[in-house]
């Protein structure tokens, strides 16, 4: 039974990996920003699945919650707000060819590094070795409590900054205090 589950795990991993890769490729190929957003969302969800298969279930949950639920939703709002229409021009900038070439080069180099680079022999945990929320919370609030506080500070700063940016006076408008 366990062997079968292990096989399923590997199969699912490959599936999710292919899915994530496909989503990424689609992202940079599709024309309309809305389609691109959708591709990204799918990539992120697949990524969440991969996290789950690695045993960090709550990280997977956070991925979907924060990234998809907050970040991508915000992006979709903005896309719709700005009423982007499909443009007749090419969606690619002048640097398409050089960019693609460099990208390919980079990918090859990284793959080479992967094959020839040294790394530790430790094994990856499977989906059954779960890193519980309890353990995480314990660490987060005892050893890394400072970081916890700092995150709240960061979020406060972000909120304030966002408001300030929106309220900043821009040319052609009256300045209301």
Pairwise CA distance, residues 17 & 47, whole Å: 8
- Residue closer to another protein, measured from CB, 1 or 95: 95
Pairwise CA distance, residues 60 & 36, whole Å: 22
Structure tokens at 159: 């909120």
For residue 1, the minimal CB distance to another protein (Å) is 20
- Residue closer to another protein, measured from CB, 1 or 153: 153
Q: With beta carbons less than 8 A apart as the criterion, state whether 139 and 22 touch.
A: no
- Residue closer to another protein, measured from CB, 8 or 96: 96
For residue 57, the minimal CB distance to another protein (Å) is 11
For residue 8, the minimal CB distance to another protein (Å) is 13
Give the Cβ contact number of residue 137 at 10 Å.
Answer: 11
């Amino acid at each position: 039974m366990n062997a079968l589950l292990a096989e399923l795990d590997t199969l699912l991993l490959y599936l999710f990996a292919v899915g994530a890769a496909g989503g990424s490729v689609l992202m940079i190929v599709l024309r309309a920003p809305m389609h691109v957003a959708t591709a990204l969302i799918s990539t992120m969800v697949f990524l969440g699945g991969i996290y789950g298969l690695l045993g960090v279930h709550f990280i997977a949950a956070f991925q979907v919650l924060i990234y998809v639920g907050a970040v991508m939703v915000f992006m979709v709002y903005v896309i719709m707000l700005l009423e982007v229409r499909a443009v007749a021009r090419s969606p690619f900038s002048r640097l398409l060819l050089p960019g693609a070439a460099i990208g390919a080069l980079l990918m090859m180099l990284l793959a080479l590094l992967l094959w020839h680079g040294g790394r530790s022999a430790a094994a990856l945990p499977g989906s059954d070795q779960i890193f519980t929320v309890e353990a995480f919370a314990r660490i987060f609030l005892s050893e890394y409590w400072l970081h916890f506080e700092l995150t709240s500070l960061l979020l406060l700063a972000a909120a304030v900054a966002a408001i300030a940016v929106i309220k900043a006076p821009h040319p052609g408008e009256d300045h209301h205090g």
